[in-house]
Structure formats: structure tokens, C-alpha cells
Amino acid sequence: MGNVSGAQTGRRHYDEQLPDDDTNLRLQRGGGGGGGVHVRLGGWGGRRWGKTVAATPAAELFRGVRVALLPARALHVGGVLPDSPLPFGLPVAAALEPALDACLRPVDHVEALAASFRRMSSAEGESNDLCDVFLEQHALFHALGDVRLLRRALRAARIHATNPHLRVVLAAWLRYERREDEFDPTPLPLAPCTPTTPLLECPRAAVFASESPGVDPVCPCRHPPPSPPTPPAPRFRRNISSAYHTGEEDGDEETNDLWFVIGEVEVACERSCIAALSKPFSTLLYGGFAESQRYRIDFSRDGITPRGMRAVAAFSRHGRLDDFPTDTILEVLAFSNKFCCEGLKDACDNKLANLVSGVDDALSLIDLGLEEAAHLLVATCLQAFLRELPKSLSNPDVARLLCSPEGLEHLDIAGNVSFALYYFLSYVAMEEDIRSNTTVMLLERLRECAELPWQKQLALHQLGCVMLERGEFKDAQGWFEDAIAEGHMYSLAGVARAKYKRGHKYSAYKMMNSITGDYDPAGWMYQERSLYCVGKEKMADLRTATELDPALSYPYKYRAVALLEEDKTESAVEEISKVFAFKMVTDCLELRAWFYLALEDYESAVRDVRAILTLDPSYMMFHGKMHGEQLIEILRGHVQLWDTADCWMQLYGRWSEVDDIGSLAVVQQMLTREPGNSSLRFRQSLLLLRLNCQKAAMRSLRFARNSSAHEHERLVYEGWILYDTGHREKALAKAEQSIEIQRSFEAFFLKAYALGDSSLDTDSALSVVQLLEHANSCASDNLRKGQAYHNMGSIYVDCDLLDEAAECYNIALNIKHTRAHQGLARVHYLKNRKKAAYGEMSELIKVAKNSASAYEKRSEYGETEETKSDLSMATFLDPTRTYPYRYRAAGKST
């Protein structure tokens, strides 16, 4: 280490493709064209089934309380009715506050990434430097929020890691990010790889691979472990069946020319073999010492037992430590350090590292490994701790080693300290509890390991963010100022926030005001400055922040709550609903649920709460004071009650109306009655994928797999998990196994999807159509059959069989698969019926009024002014979509 004392592959969303991409009609797994998030502002809509319960006005439920939603320390408690079933009031705009990003955020992200690329180009051939460059890219990608870019950077860093320590850290990090993908039960931390484990995450490859960069194409778990290193220049004179004997002599008496006396026991050795172990032994036995003339040497006071000496003798002859027990290997390790026997030490280190199978083994061996500086043993023990994160940090012994300055010093001596290690540990700790002492200690260690400028900026900025969350504002300001001194300008926002918290609001305003004049404008600058001003100036800053960075959610939240305070609750709902066009955020859903409560629209409130629980089953509302299920129970008497049949009719209606949030809520309600229904869990995963909630979707898919009562269903869900994690061939095999057990819609659909998600010739494509026809011949509901017909239409379009495609799309539309309008529009366009294509997309927009992708797609088929209007609407609904900007920019350039 340097200055210790100093400071995958997801499923395509074809309904979301850009208009200039002809792949927009390819296979869809969970629902095709139209896409986007359709948010209904007026309740469930459509026909209502089930019992109708007389509504109680909101005033009766929530009267007399006014509590700020965020943060908890800003609660304003008014008169609380003791008999109120929900003793929390409405949100207050003044209490809302955006969180600071605890990551690197350069003023000019493009320039920062370009500089990183230049460093990568100049570091070609230097793997250690490349590993650092890719870790820097990982830190830069955090501000972009793209999970795929983050994982790609981690994978690249792992590929270019040249020592066991870095490989262990990065492999464990990759496994941590993929923890939702594992089948249950989750494998032990150092268990051999499963068929779905990526090579870069293999625990054996991380520790025992060669020093050269890259990845062995064959996982070490799938072939015998490598032989231990051969001792330097031994003279082998015979073979014996075992390296360990309980007798007093080891080997042929004719070759024994040296005996080590330990107590009353003599251990026979070969002088030349012992001398070859190290230079000190060579000097002792062949130099000018008296021992060079002796045949018996007393080793009684050299800290080794007869058994240990026999192990040394066996290794000196055969280069192996095969059958000796662990305590003997530990004894020999200490002996090898004492006499500088590097080959013997490496063999002991390797042998002990192979004995570690879990955290308990690691805890029993880590101290000895640190004491003897056994690099591989310490790396393996560290790997066991890292692969059990965050659970292992709750173990006091592990926490003491990883968090304390003494632990860092010991790990450094053993060659197992790096910035990457504490970057990973602090990342996990901040996810678990950003205010904890453990997080603070790990960030302090991160600062001590930081050498490069970006590393110092990150460590200091994160320390500032943690101290700010802990309410230690003076310390936070100091850390942010140190980060600024290292060149991290975003930390100016941290300094301003700390000053504001300390009562210096005007000073904070002046600081942020100077930033907006000194640097190119960015959304976060105006968002932060808005905290320190009021009235029209505040709203102007929030509008500018949204224009510069539409993905910032705070401006929408503030404007929505401000509208609520002006008694414009319906407008507040419209404002906060804009967020859901480009991302699903639980706190924004919670805020909208509040607004619906104020409107006495309890069904819409319950819908949003159910959506929250789908995204995060443990989510606590109202400052962590109430679980969502408790709120649903309170409102139970004020919403319509549906039985199972009603729920299926509601789901069918929501699905047809492209109301993904409403569909999620219905599925969640059904799962409260049937938590073990694997089919519902699978549908839940499809909806979550449509909403781009990959992590939650994978969790639902795992639940589906684990709760499945039938082998053929379980194989299908395992196939989807394999497909989503990049194992296409294994997914196909699972589908075929399922079909052999029982023909089912989902098995044929999986096989067709996996085969069709690639470039196919006409014959292969039509074989996929045949699989989908087999799927539709099996029992299923119209929701899934409509999807199959839609996919068949997409394949026919690719094969230029437009009449067959139109027939499939029309069948899908007849069974209420609304997204088929997009495919049929494509058929009309290819038949030179542009006006009919425009009309078909208009039919979709009548249902999916808030679908930005539908407007974007319709823009292909309209005249110039219609195209501009549709693209403007697409940008209004989802400002993060890039095609409208590119189209308008191209028009201006011509």
C-alpha cells in the first residue's frame, strides 16, 4: 500500500425503443409497445366491482394534524386528535430537503469522463494503473445512476486486478451487487461456483489465479486445484506414497545424512534438500559454521516439534504438505518465516488458504495469518468476510479488524490493504446505515488509504455527507472544505448546506450564488440555491434546475407540496406524477398517496401504497412510524373490497389500459391473500421490468422460483433468472427440461423468447413463431396470450410477412392487448399507409394518455408540424428521453 498514514444483461424493453430503431417491434416478454409509465390521476377508473363502502371524509380521518413529511427532525405537530386513526398530517414544503449525492460529481461530467478515458489510454499495459482508472470510472458513473455502467466498470477493474487482494475485493463486490440473482438457498461465501456464477466472481480464481491480468477461461472450481509451488532446487531421489509418516525416519536411510534433534527425538533429513530451502539454511549447513561439520543438530530451542520438523523434511524432499494437520502447518509457517524459507512459506500459505470455508474458519485463522504475514491466508479470510457483507460487519471481531486503525496497520503488513477495499466497505456501510459509527470509521480508513486526487475527493466528500446526516454540521463543513481543496467543486453544496444548518443562511446563499456565476450551469447548483431563497426566486431556481436536469426529483416534490398548501391538490397530484414518467421513487409515491388522502380518494391512495410495498416490502411511511400494510388496514373500511375474481377482472382492465402502477397494486393485493402464488410473483416481475425496476423484478422472480410447487414451473423461473443474468443457453436448457415434464405456455414462451432475442434467418424466425403457437395452444389467460400474439406479429414483420403480422396484431387487440396498436401501426407504415399508422398510434394514445413513448412513436408517422407537436409532448411527459432532443437538434443543424 502507499501512504497509510496519510489521507448485466437485462431484457430489452422493445416498447421503449427510439423511433429510428427498427428493433422496436422485436419480442416482448411482459408487454409490448406503448411503454412508459401511465399514471392515472383520478383513482382506479373503469368499471368498479365488489362491495361499495360509504366513504368517510378526510377531515374525519386526518383532521387536526400537520406534520412535515421529510425530514423527521422537521416535524411540526399541531393539535392531534386522540381518536384519529392516523395521527400524521400533511407534508409541509418548508421541511422538504434534497439529499446531497455522496459520490463524485464533477462540474463537467463529459470532460471528467474524457479525462478518465485519456488516462486509460495512457495506462495500456499497466494493469495496476488500469484497475485504478476503472475504479475511478465507477465512482464517476454513480452520479449518472446507470447500474449497467457501474457493473461494467467493476468488471473491467476486476479483469485488470493483478494481485490476490484486489481480485478478492472486486470479486466480492461484483457478487454483492448480484446478490439478488442467486437461487435460494444462497451459497456459502467460499462455496464452489454454481453453474450460474460468473467467472469474475469465482472465489478460488480470486485467490489462486496467476499474477497475469485477465481471467482463466475455465473456472478453478471446475478443475483440480493447482499444485503447490515447488521448492527451490531440491534433489528428488525417490518416491514415497505419503509425505507424512508417524515413524521416526522419513526416507531411505542411504540418503539421510543429517538429523535434527528435538528433545529426545531425531528427525532424519537430507542436508542438500534442507539447504535448498533458504539461504540461511544453506549458510548454516555449507558455510563456515560448526553445524556444517555435524550430522546431528540440536533444534530443541527453535520452536518446532518433531512432527513439524518431519513436515519440513518431507517438503524439502517432495515439495508437498499433503497430509499434515492444520496445527502442524501453522507451526511450519512460523518456522518458514524464522528461517526465510519462501517456498515453504508459500506452500503453507496456500495450504491454509484452501482450508478456509467460511467466516468461522476465517476468524480462527486470521490472527495467525496476520502475525506471520501469510498473504494468501489473509486474503482468503478477508474474502470470507467480504462475501458475507453486510452481515459480517455486525460481528465485533470482524468490525474491529476492518474498522480500526490497528486493523488497517495489520492488514497492510500482510499486503491486504487498498483503497478499493475501504471503498467497497464504506459503500456497503453507507447503504446499511449512513449515520452509524461503523460508517464513519470505515470512511476514515478510506481517507487514510487515498493517494490519487479523485480518491481523496471521494473520501473527504463522503465523510462530509455522513457528518451532515449525523447532525455534526461543523465537522461536515470541515470535511467538505477539505474536499474542495482537493478539487471537488460539488462539495461547495455541502459547505453551503452545513452553513445553512448552522444558521448562516445568507452565507450559504452567497456561496451558491457565486457557483452559478463561476461555472457552467448545472441542475444541482440551482436546486441547492433554491433552499436558501423564497418566493418567486425560489420557484425560478427550481424551474431552472428541472430544465437543466429533469431527473432531479426534489423540484417536483417541492412544487407539488407548495400547490397542496395553496389548496390546489389536484394540481399537486399532476406535478408529482411527472416523476413517474421516467423513474419509480418510493418517497414520491408516498407523497402522492398523501395528496390522494387529502382529496378523499382513498382507493388511489391505497393503490400507491401497494405500489410502494411492491418496490420495497419493508418500507415505513411517515418518518418510519407506520408500515404501509398498517395504513392499508386503516383505510380498509373506506375502499371497495374485491374477491379473487374481482381482482383478476381489475388486473385485466389495468393491464389493457397500460396502467402499470395500477396493475402492480392489484397483483400486490392478490399476493396478500396468496403469498405463495408463484404465477402472481412472476407477473409482478414482468410489471416491474416494464417500470425499469430491475432489482425489485429480480426479487419477485426469485420469490416465484422459490414458492413454485411444481418442478416444471420452477424450471421456467430458473430459466428467466438465467436469461436475465446472461446465461442464454442455460435458459434454453431449462425451458426444454420444463417442456419434457409438462407442456406449458410459459415454458414455450421462454424458449421462443430466448431463441428470438437474436438475429435470425427466416426459417429460424418461423420456428420461433411455431413455438409461440404451441404456447397459445396451452392453458393460459388472455393477458399472456395477447403478448404471445404480439411477439408473433413482431417476428412476421422482421420476415416481411406483413399480412400475417397484421392478423396477429388484430387478434392481440381483440383480446385487449392494447400495446399491439404500435405493432399494427408499423405494419401500416411498411405498407405505405402512413396516415393509417398515425391513426393507429392515436388509438393507443387514447388509452395510454401519459405514455411518452407512444407520442414519440407516433411522431414517425405524422407530418412535420404533427411530428414536432408529438415530440414536444414526449419531452413534456418524460424529459429524460433523448430522441426528441436529437431530432430537434438535427432539424436546427440543417
Which pLDDT value is given to residue 636? 87
- 366 in Cβ contact with 356 (< 8 Å): no
Is the pTM higher than 0.85? Answer: no
CATH superfamily of 228-355: Potassium Channel Kv1.1; Chain A (3.30.710.10)
Of all residues in the chain, the percent with pLDDT exceeding 70 is 83
CB within 8 Å of 368: residues ≥ 6 apart: 330, 333, 374, 377
Q: What was the pLDDT predicted at 58?
A: 46
Per-residue 3-state assignment (H helix, E strand, C coil) for 225-286: CCCCCCCCCCCCCCCCCCCCCCCCCCCCCCCCCEEEEECCEEEEECHHHHHCCCHHHHHHHH
User: What residue ranges do the domains of the chain occupy?
Assistant: 228-355
pLDDT higher than 50, residue 82: no
* pLDDT higher than threshold 90 for residue 682: yes
How do residues 447-462 score in pLDDT, each as one tens digit? 999 999 999 999 999 9
pLDDT at position 148 over 90: no
Question: At 216, is the pLDDT very low, low, confident or very high (cuts 50, 70, 90)?
Answer: low
Residue 212 has pLDDT above 60, yes or no: no
Query: What is the layout of strands, in order, in the sheet containing 296-298?
Result: 265-269, 258-262, 296-298
Instruction: Work out the angle between the directed axes of helices 820-830 and 834-847 (0-180°, nearest 10).
Output: 170
C-alpha cell at 574: 399532476
> What is the pLDDT at residue 195?
67
Tell me: the pLDDT tens digits for 567-604? 999 999 999 999 998 889 999 999 999 899 888 899 99
Express each pLDDT in 513-556 by its tens digit.
998 888 889 999 999 999 999 999 999 999 999 999 999 999 99
Q: What is the pLDDT of residue 225?
A: 54
List the single range of 230-244, 499-513, 573-587, 750-764 with lowest mean pLDDT. 230-244
Identify the residue whose cell numbers are 414519440.
856
Q: What percent of the chain stands above pLDDT 90?
A: 56
Least confident of 113-127, 191-205, 457-471, 715-729: 191-205
Residue 191's pLDDT band (cuts 50, 70, 90):
confident
Residues 252 and 255: their CA atoms lie apart, in Å, by 6
Name the DSSP class of 626: E
Tens digits of residue pLDDT in 777-833? 999 988 899 999 999 999 999 999 999 999 999 999 999 999 999 999 999 999 999
Give which of 637, 640, 621 is closest to 629, Cα–Cα.
621
What's the pLDDT score for residue 804? 94
pLDDT greater than 90 at residue 849: no
Binned at pLDDT 50, 70 and 90, residue 364 comes out as: very high
Q: What pLDDT does residue 211 have?
A: 52
**Which residues on adjacent β-strands are paired with residue 252?**
none
pLDDT number for residue 222: 62
Position 765 pLDDT exceeds 50: yes
* pLDDT for 317: 87
Q: Determine the Cα–Cα distance for residues 475 and 567; give it in Å rounded to an integer.
A: 41
| Nearest CA-CA partner of 756 in 719, 786, 796, 816 | 796
The confidence score (pLDDT) of residue 30 equals: 57
Extract long-range pairs of 605-611: CB within 8 Å, 24+ residues apart. Answer: 605/635, 606/632, 606/635, 606/639, 606/665, 607/44, 607/661, 607/662, 607/665, 608/661, 608/665, 610/664, 610/665, 610/668, 610/669, 611/584, 611/661, 611/664, 611/665, 611/668
Average pLDDT of the segment spanning 487-511? 95
Mean pLDDT, rounded, for 676-682:
92
Q: Which amino acid is at 181?
A: D
d(CA 97, CA 93): 9
Total residue count of the chain as it appears in this document? 894
Lowest mean pLDDT among 51-55, 295-299, 382-386: 51-55
Which range among 27-31, 45-49, 866-870 shows the weakest confidence by mean pLDDT? 45-49
pLDDT of 52 > 50? The answer is no
Q: What integer pLDDT is reported at residue 205 of this predicted model?
A: 83
